[in-house]
Amino acid sequence: MASIKNLKKDINNVLGGIIEGVYIVEETNGGGPSKEGTAIIDGAIATFDELIAKVNENNIENKKAHFNGVRSELETKANKLVDQLNKMA
């Protein structure tokens, strides 16, 4: 059970950090919200919702494989969002 709790924390922390990074870049560049930043934030929120829904699924036969898949999906999608954030900077 602690593994699920930690996975949810990881999802929250990783995607929250990306959103925070968008705000920092926008503030550093001396402006308000940008279209690129808004798109990254929307993508992070959509990814969060999708991954949490997958974690909360009940009818899973192989839980370990399922959660490992969710973790790898988090890594893949977070890297994509970070790449977009780096282009924005």
pLDDT tens column, 49-82: 999 999 999 999 999 999 999 999 999 999 999 9
Question: What's the average model confidence in pLDDT over 1-21?
Answer: 91
pLDDT tens column, 23-46: 999 998 887 788 999 999 999 999
Q: Would you say 48 and 11 are in contact if contact means Cβ atoms under 8 Å apart?
A: yes
Amino acid at 67: F
Q: Which residues, 6+ apart, have CB-to-CB distance to 29 below 8 Å?
A: 89
Domain ranges of the chain: 2-88
Torsion of CA 8, 70, 72, 20, to 10 degrees: -40
Q: Which of 82, 13, 22 is nearest to 48 (CA)?
A: 13
pLDDT, position 88:
85
Q: Which residues, 6+ apart, have CB-to-CB distance to 58 below 8 Å?
A: none
pTM, two decimal places: 0.91
